[in-house]
Amino acid sequence: MNECYYDKRMDFFYNKTKTDTADEWTGPQLIVVLCFGTFFCLFIFISNSLVIAAVVKNKKFHFPFYYLLANLAAADFFAGIAYVFLMFNTGPVSKTLTVNRWFLRQGLLDTSLTASLVNLLVIAVERHMSIMRMKIHSNLTKKRVTFLIISIWAIAIFMGAVPTLGWNCLCDITVCSSLAPIYSRSYLVFWSVLNLVVFFIMVVVYIRIYMYVQRKTNVLSSHTSGSISRRRTPVKLMKTVMTVLGAFVVCWTPGLVVLLLDGLNCTYCGIQNVKRWFLLLALLNSVMNPIIYSYKDDEMWSTMKRMICCFSEDKSQDRRSSRIPSTVLCRSTDTSGHYIEDGIIQGTICGKGDLSDKGNS
């Protein structure tokens, strides 16, 4: 019967598998890494919070597609938490971790990846349901969308906990991997192949959906009198989703390939030299998604801009309240005949000011 090593610290497993834990990452190099990591994580928290707030605030986003998009932003926000935890529990610190703390570190990363992946699958189903009926949005009810979101996180948490539940090498260190010293190599093969296969399926599905939308839109455009912008809306949504999916696949595939090579016990592949760069690439995915949402979706960008504007305006007004009367807050600097129009625009953006008073002034 094999001996189990539940009470050992991670230095025992790192030494057994001869895993590099980057002892040289000290001093200025460590400070630079922490500074860049902190900046990226702060951006992830702020930008994805804005995406979620935009979906909640703007009634034009109160549809299944955008609820799922907000959940994808929540997965990226969770990924930021996972990266923060990893940042302060990696390098030389790795060897001092207990088995349970190391499982938590990796489990958070696996959960965030699974949440994003499953969410993209559900979005593919939602897009398929709507596009086959040539509608902008599907007929999913709020209860069903809520159930789907809960299911996404249940699956993600379960997949993140699988190694902790028993699929590890604590009782057979001969099958331990190099990159993840207490993960079984068979689990790494299963994990990486599963995700790569799902990547491939999703890419094929989205390409087929996109081709169908393009073909159907071109046919209908010559037989319908609807506005051009309305006919193009499904295509714009598909472009947003496909851009997000493309960024996800590009950022995560190299890391999954490295895990697969490690699971196959490729001792001459030099995976230790590239693992940190591929992890950074995965981190960039959570940074890129909010930028994609705002760049590809004009309504999303304008909503986020209004929220930032109102926040800045509120702080500015608080500073000037003792010097400027409340009746001129949010007033346009333009004193020409466009004053009323500018006042309406600013009132819409900031949600302040009495437009009727401005009209009578």
Q: Lowest-pLDDT range, 22-26, 225-229, 353-357?
A: 353-357
Question: Is the Cβ–Cβ distance between 353 and 343 less than 8 Å?
Answer: yes
| Most confident range, picked from 15-19, 226-230, 353-357 | 15-19
Q: How confident is the model at residue 191 (pLDDT cuts 50, 70, 90)?
A: very high
* Measured torsion, CA atoms of residues 205, 210, 213, 215, in degrees rounded to the nearest 10: -110
> What's the pTM value of the predicted model, to 2 decimals?
0.77
Of 237, 192, 185, 287, nearest in space to 60 by CA? 237
Does the pLDDT at position 283 exceed 60?
Answer: yes
pLDDT confidence of residue 38: 84
Q: How confident is the model at residue 46 (pLDDT cuts 50, 70, 90)?
A: very high
Task: Indicate whether 326 pLDDT > 50.
Answer: no
Mean pLDDT on 144-171: 93
Instruction: Return the HEC string of the chain.
Output: CCCCCCCCEHHHHHHHHCCCCCCCCCCHHHHHHHHHHHHHHHHHHHHHHHHHHHHHHCHHHCCHHHHHHHHHHHHHHHHHHHHHHHHCCCHHHHHHCEHHHHHHHHHHHHHHHHHHHHHHHHHHHHHHHHHCCCCCCCCCCHHHHHHHHHHHHHHHHHHHHHHHHCCCCCCCHHHECCCCCCCEHHHHHHHHHHHHHHHHHHHHHHHHHHHHHHHHHHHHHCCCCCCHHHHHHHHHHHHHHHHHHHHHHHHHHHHHHHHHHHHCCCCCCCHHHCHHHHHHHHHHHHHHHHHHHHHHCHHHHHHHHHHHHHHHHHHHHHHHCCCCCHHHCCCCCCCCCCHHHHHHHHHHHHCCCCHHHHHHC
Write down the mean pLDDT value for the chain: 77
In whole angstroms, give the CA distance from residue 166 to residue 216.
Answer: 49
The whole-number average pLDDT for the span 200-206 is 85
Going 216 to 222 to 225 to 228, the CA torsion angle's sign is positive
Residue 275 banded pLDDT, cuts 50, 70, 90: confident
Bridge partners of residue 184, in order along the sequence: 176
Q: Which of 233-247, 302-316, 338-352 is the least confident region?
A: 338-352
pLDDT confidence bin for 74, thresholds 50/70/90: very high
Say if residue 114's pLDDT is above 60: yes
Secondary structure, 3-state, 275-294: HHHHHHHHHHHHHHHHHHHH
pLDDT, average across residues 309-317: 64
Largest CA distance in the chain: 90
Percent of the chain with pLDDT over 90: 24
Q: HEC string of 199-263?
A: HHHHHHHHHHHHHHHHHHHHHHHCCCCCCHHHHHHHHHHHHHHHHHHHHHHHHHHHHHHHHHHHH
pLDDT tens digits for 12-32? Answer: 888 877 665 554 455 666 677
**342/273: higher pLDDT:** 273
Query: Which positions ≥6 away from 4 have C-beta within 8 Å?
Result: 170, 171
Question: What's the residue count for the chain?
Answer: 361
Indicate whether 60 pLDDT > 90.
Answer: no
pLDDT band at 232 (very low <50, low <70, confident <90, very high): low
Top-level CATH class of 10-220+235-310? mainly alpha
Q: How confident is the model at residue 353 (pLDDT cuts 50, 70, 90)?
A: very low
Indicate the domain borders of the chain.
10-220+235-310
Distance in angstroms (rounded) separating the CA atoms of residues 358 and 356: 5
For position 5, what pLDDT does the model report?
Answer: 81
Distance between start and end Cα atoms, the chain? 90
* pLDDT confidence bin for 110, thresholds 50/70/90: very high
Angle between helices 99-131 and 142-165 in degrees, nearest 10: 150
